[in-house]
Chain A
Amino acid sequence: EIVLTQSPGTLSLSPGERATLSCRASQSVSSSYLAWYQQKPGQAPRLLIYAASSRATDIPDRFSGSGSGTDFTLTISRLEPEDFAVYYCQQYGSSPWTFGQGTKVEIK
């Protein structure tokens, strides 16, 4: 089973700042089969990024994904108030599909 480790656990930033979230896999994720989700309190996760760098439908271009192999990054170029949430990565290259433990982006 591929273990995904996200860092940092919590990111304290101000609106307008850049957020860089990391997702590291315990073994290579085949074909960059990695997705990112955003989850707000009391809500279901929302798909942001798939295939490591492809934005999902209606996702603003301030969200971008990059990486391959074992190291992946989600970048939010300029934080908007609605971006403060928990972010999860998910790999779907090797069964069972697994999620990271999440990174909370909070207002500083």
Chain B
Amino acid sequence: QVQLQESGPGLVKPSETLSLTCTVSGGSISNYYWGWIRQPPGKGLEWIGYIYYSGSTKYNPSFKSRVSISVDTSKNQFSLNLSSVTAADTAVYYCARSHGWYYFDHWGQGTLVTVSS
């Protein structure tokens, strides 16, 4: 059974870059699509973007040029960078395996990132 685990700082200062890594275990990162989704406290879900193991990406335009997702197949990991963060980026960030560029069938437990000085 594939498992995903997010890791990274729980506190980021405004205007800095939020960086998170998702480690995949119980299966290979190859031949699958992987995504990031976030959930502000007490609110709904927002899709951030996807990456295919080959490196192809697809992003939510609402994040404009602030977001980048990368993959390291040798470590079975993929990562999220979100630049120029503000308090509005405070959320639980989930990594997930995607079925194609579509829906998410396996999720990490999520990690809370707070943007504050």
Contact = CB atoms under 8 A, between A and B. Distances in A.
Contact of B107 (A45, A50, A57, A102): A45
A45 B104 contact: yes
B60 to A, nearest CB: 4
A66 interface: no
Contact of B47 (A46, A47, A96): A96
A74 interface: no
Interface stretch (A12-20, A77-85, A87-95): A87-95
A33 B99 CA distance: 12
Given A44-B94, A44-B109, A90 B62 contact: no
B44 A99 contact: yes
B44 A100 contact: yes
A47 B104 contact: yes
Interface string B32-48: 00000000000011110
A43 B60 CA distance: 24
B103 A92 contact: yes
A35 interface: yes
Contacts of A99: 44-47
Interface string A31-50: 00101010000011111001
Contacts of B46: 99
A56 interface: yes
Contacts of B99: 50
A45 B35 CA distance: 14
Contacts of B94: 44-45
A55 to B, nearest CB: 12
Nearest to B59: A96
Interface of B: 44-47, 58, 60-62, 94, 96, 99, 101-105, 107-110
Given A56-B105, A90-B45, A96-B60, 8 more contacts: A33-B102, A35-B104, A44-B96, A44-B109, A45-B94, A47-B105, A88-B44, A90-B103
